[in-house]
Chains A and B, each alone.
Chain A
């Protein structure tokens, strides 16, 4: 290496003066605008460290960060934004809170807000059991159809949502209990089998047979108190309609047998304890609007 000035013959450009195995490096400096932009960026970054939150520091035995002199905090910004949106919605929330459900349903603008809010709340709270499209699954009712165990009017849906089903923490919860006919030895296995045959004839899925005729007598004795004559159900008691096409726990013979033998008892939380009243109202309106509302 040498420090003498050397100019490249071919290009006429000075070299850096370094030499490795006769290889020299041309000294073509960076463009000035680039260099000055680079310096400006360095100055900017130092200023940024001082003004804005920047460096992690270990202070008083814990990791924290330099807060910056203007005290900017993205979390505060987000919280302010959320508060701003909530304040903007408050007008509608107040109206939903003040008006009764059928009145809201007549108000196109308010309904739009309620359905959007209901959809969001449904996705957050109800979809895990009832499915994102409220289509339900075995043991979890489909909320799109017109079959309602506890009633499908706005008010019925609202009460169910508010107080839940078999939710013991709520005194007004919807509650009923189907006896476990075989497990508790109220009926014998043969009798349960006969009743099963009869129940299947109610919805027209099976033909009347000798067994179903025997089951008919047992049904009249044991089941009609709740499920009524012909198995049409009773919404006051939450007794499902056995004569329609919809089976919460399956409509095949084995499932129906199991339902009679061991009983079924699903559960829904009382959402009145968990969500604010406006959200529960929005949910009631949303579920009612899915297509099965009465």
Chain B
């Protein structure tokens, strides 16, 4: 807000007395009087860099995008609350929760996929996938993520919905906040915060179910016998939900989130963005019924787009950092356009390039396939393919062979050379499995297992879902030392699941004297 007339820019100074009066009025009523034009509190010209926050009262709108947002909210909240309760049978040695991040046992379960600690790269792949998808969507249609699916948006929307139920719509809320203390105000405010808190607790409460068996944990939570860590995390997420969704709201997006700063590099002139079509709307101004629309724009300056905006900006100022592209201003404007009998879509998903084309009298065109989007799509397909392939082809055995390095090799009394290897086998099957170990690459070498008499094949049984270290030795007879090249030969350990026949191998080497 411009607080000092003498420091205002030439624009305001030149506007004269009326403007000054307007300024003074704005100061007293940052949101305008009831029924009057709304003020975009976060619009660039309305706030100095170090102003404290002015509360925003988003007005309820009806329309296509509002409907989409309700549906998306229902789906995302539904997924969040229901997922931990889905069961998935994995047999007696594994949990039956479909989605479970089991940190104590170091396993991530996701329906039929099971991630061991050493496979966390799948998580990396998932994050890469998510970010590339975000890039693609942003370059196509702006901050769709921010406007519809981001948890901050979804929960803020839910909190505003609750606020609206209890305190009424925009003008009622402004009136309530301005009114002096009364029982009505106390009851409404208290009940609003109470319901918010319940939602916040439910949010924090649902979070912990992803990390432990949900029914057991729920029972423990209710009887106050759950792990204190569970209560701690519920408290943390309750607090963040309440503070971010109820109190901080748009400040999270504007000041805390890095994404608005990155987005500028993500979209271009051909991206679909929520746009006020100034080529059609300006010059704007109030319009009296039954007067001509000639020589003026379609915007009647009613301010409904501003009143609906949860970020407190005026979309007519063009693309701004704060805009989360929620499209509620589109619904608000479409409603007004229908009432005044003008075509819908004065504010609409549009591209900056099309605006220029219309101004130049050209036809609108849409370029969905641009180098940027094609590259993002390519990366997306590539990463998905790699992940899918690696997931589909990964086996139930993991093998790691660690060669002893200290000592590098041992000479035995008959002149033969012995190397020691620790064979680490992971049995990912939820049943005990028998494995045989053999070597390949040094025909005359012999594999023996510590504590077991020598034989061609070393066998071992590994308990369900676990890792076993098997200490083995490979002995190369004196006569065969010639098969070493510079004191070294490559060697392959082959592990076979005796019942399924699944085979994995690990390359290592055999060392001897040079």
Residues of A within 8 A of B (CB): 105, 131-135, 142, 144-147, 241, 244-246, 289, 291-292
Contacts and interface: CB of A to CB of B under 8 A. Distances in A.
A145 B450 contact: no
Interface in B392-432: 404-407, 410-415, 418, 420
Contacts of B478: 245
A72 B418 CA distance: 54
A53 B420 CA distance: 52
Contacts of A246: 411-413
Nearest to B7: A12
A146 B412 contact: yes
Interface of B: 404-407, 410-415, 418, 420, 450-451, 471, 473, 478
A291 B473 contact: yes
Contacts of A292: 410, 412
A133 B413 CA distance: 18
A131 B471 CA distance: 21
A132 B406 contact: yes
Interface SS majority for chain B: loop
Given A245-B478, A291-B473, A145 B406 contact: no
Contacts of A135: 406-407, 410
A145 B414 contact: no
Contacts of B407: 131, 133-135, 142, 144
A111 to B, nearest CB: 9
Contact of B414 (A105, A131, A134, A245): A245
A289 B450 contact: yes
A277 to B, nearest CB: 24
A244 B406 contact: no
Contact of B412 (A105, A132, A134, A245): A245
A133 B408 CA distance: 9
Contacts of B418: 144-145, 291
Given A132-B406, A133-B406, A291 B420 contact: yes
Contact of B415 (A133, A241, A245, A291): A245
Contacts of B405: 133
Given A132-B406, A291-B418, A291-B420, A245 B411 contact: yes
A68 B42 CA distance: 55
Nearest to A133: B406
A146 B478 CA distance: 15
Nearest to A247: B411
A147 B413 contact: yes
Given A244-B413, A245-B478, 15 more contacts: A131-B407, A133-B407, A135-B406, A142-B410, A144-B407, A144-B410, A144-B418, A145-B411, A146-B412, A241-B413, A244-B415, A245-B413, A245-B414, A289-B471, A291-B450
Nearest to B413: A244
Contacts of B411: 142, 145, 245-246
